Amino acid sequence: MDRRAFGKKRWWELGYEMSELVRLTDITKVYQGGVTGALNGVSLAIEEGEFTAIMGPSGSGKSTLLNLVAGLDRPSSGSVTVAGSDLGRLSETGLARFRRDRIGFVFQFFHLLPNLTALENVLIPARLKSRVSAESAGRALMSRLGIGEVADRYPSRLSGGQQQRVAVARALINQPTLLLADEPTGALDTKSGDQVMALFAELHQEGQTIVLVTHDPKLATRYAARVISMLDGRVIDDARLETTERKPADVIRVRSEEPSR
């Protein structure tokens, strides 16, 4: 399988076998009072090292899917397994630890704590894990992400792009198995959004497994190696990009469904 080349050592060159990191089996999610489900019988697997974009219009269930993978929500039926852990068997405390140790989550609207400095925001997950020497790691991470100089500023004094990079740093501080991003560029201008996506691409090159939700097909096909399309709570398309030219016509579809009309 060809992958895009980004100039760094690709994970497959290390001789690793791709292993399954996330498995969703027949997932259904119905909210209280809902007539139709947010998710209807979704099954898919995400492998380690993949950069997956989940795409679809508003209400398609993509964010719901992401929340289930993150352990922020529980399915009405079906199972979610991430890094070998069946999330359905975990208590609320167990899910919190799972999110702290295994997941890095980046929100559309950053969701930084306004009364903490940028560095303090980055360090929260580490300190929840009682990592007493995380400060130096936090500063190093921020420097790497190009925001080292704003470590002691409060979020209100940062640009949108800076805030989102702080959020990314927070998501990475505990070296998560899986990085999830829900419309990470939705609240950013084009330039800032490109910077953030370039960051994701760089992280993926280093082996980070990323799942990104977006409604922008251009963004999805430009950066992700796999694009899952959703509509009305179902996966209607699941394509891995095989060439370095990112043209939709070159997409080899793994699965396809005609959207119901």
Partner 1 sequence: MTAILVKALADLRRRRVQAAVIFLTVLLAMATGTMALTLMSQTRDPYQAAFEAQKGAHLQVEFKASTDPQLLATTPAIIGASAAGGPYPATSLQFKHGGQSFYVQTFGRDSAGGDVEVLNVTAGHWPRANDEIVLTRSFAELNNVSIGDTIKVVSVPAQSTLKVVGEVVDIDEGSADLSSQHAWVLKGAVPALTTPGLSTYLMDYRFPADPTSSQLQGYVDRLRASLPPGSITASINYLLIRSIFNITNQIITGVLSAFSVFALAATIAIMATLVTGIVISAFREIGIMKAVGFTPAGVIGVFALQVIIPALAACLIGIPAGTILSQPLLANSSHALGLPYMPSFSLGLDLLLLVGGLVVVSLAATLPALRAGLLKPITAITIATAPRGRSGGWLRRQAARLRLPQPIVLGIGDAFARPLRAALTLVTVLLGVATVVVAIGLPRSFQLINNSETGAGNYQVVINRSNALPDAEVMRILNAQPETARVVALDGENIAVPGISDPVNSRIFRGDSSKLAYMVIAGRWFSGPGEVLAPAGFLHDTHLKIGDTFTGSLNGQALQLRVVGEVYDISNLGHELFMDYATLPPNTPNSDPSTYWVTLRPGSDLNAYIQRVAGTQPDLLDVHPNNTSLIGPVKIIDSVLLVLAVVLFLIGVGGIFNTLLLNTRERIQDTATLKAVGMSPRQVIVMVAASAGLLALVAGLMAMPVGLYLHHLLNDVVSTSTGNDTPPSVYDVFNLFELMAIPLLGVAVAIVASLLPGRWAARTNVIEVLHAE
Alpha carbon distance, N-terminus to C-terminus of the chain: 34
Based on CB atoms, which residue is closest to partner 1, 112 or 241?
112
The nearest distance, CB 100 to partner 1, in angstroms, is 2
Question: Per the structure block, which two tokens stand in for 19?
Answer: 């292993």
Element (H, E) at 97: helix 92-102
The nearest distance, CB 102 to partner 1, in angstroms, is 9
Q: Of 70, 151, 188, 235, which lies in the binding site for partner 1, with binding defined by CB under 8 A? A: 70
State the CB neighbour count (10 A cutoff) for residue 33.
5
Secondary structure (3-state) at 28: strand
The nearest distance, CB 64 to partner 1, in angstroms, is 8
Q: Of 17, 32, 35, 93, which lies in the binding site for partner 1, with binding defined by CB under 8 A? A: 93
* β-bridge partners, 255: 238
Say if residue 13 is exposed, middle or buried (CB neighbours under 10 Å; 0-12, 13-18, 19+). exposed
Which span (19-27, 96-104, 214-222, 250-258) binds partner 1, by CB under 8 A? 96-104
> Are residues 256 and 237 in contact, defined by beta-carbon separation less than 8 angstroms?
yes
Secondary structure (3-state) at 59: coil
Longest dimension (CA), the chain: 56
- Interactions with partner 1, residue window 114-143 (CB under 8 A): 114-116, 120, 124-125, 127-130, 132
Based on CB atoms, which residue is closest to partner 1, 39 or 241?
39
The nearest distance, CB 249 to partner 1, in angstroms, is 34
Q: Does 160 engage in binding with partner 1 (CB under 8 A)?
A: no
Q: Of 10, 23, 97, 139, which lies in the binding site for partner 1, with binding defined by CB under 8 A? A: 97
Q: Measured between alpha carbons, how far is 239 from 242 in angstroms, rounded to an integer?
A: 9
Q: Measured between alpha carbons, how far is 203 from 246 in angstroms, rounded to an integer?
A: 20
The nearest distance, CB 75 to partner 1, in angstroms, is 13
Which span (13-21, 101-109, 188-196, 197-205) binds partner 1, by CB under 8 A? 101-109
Per CB under 8 A, residues contacting partner 1 are 63, 67, 70, 72-73, 92-93, 96-97, 99-101, 103, 105, 107-109, 111-116, 120, 124-125, 127-130, 132, 154, 170-171, 174
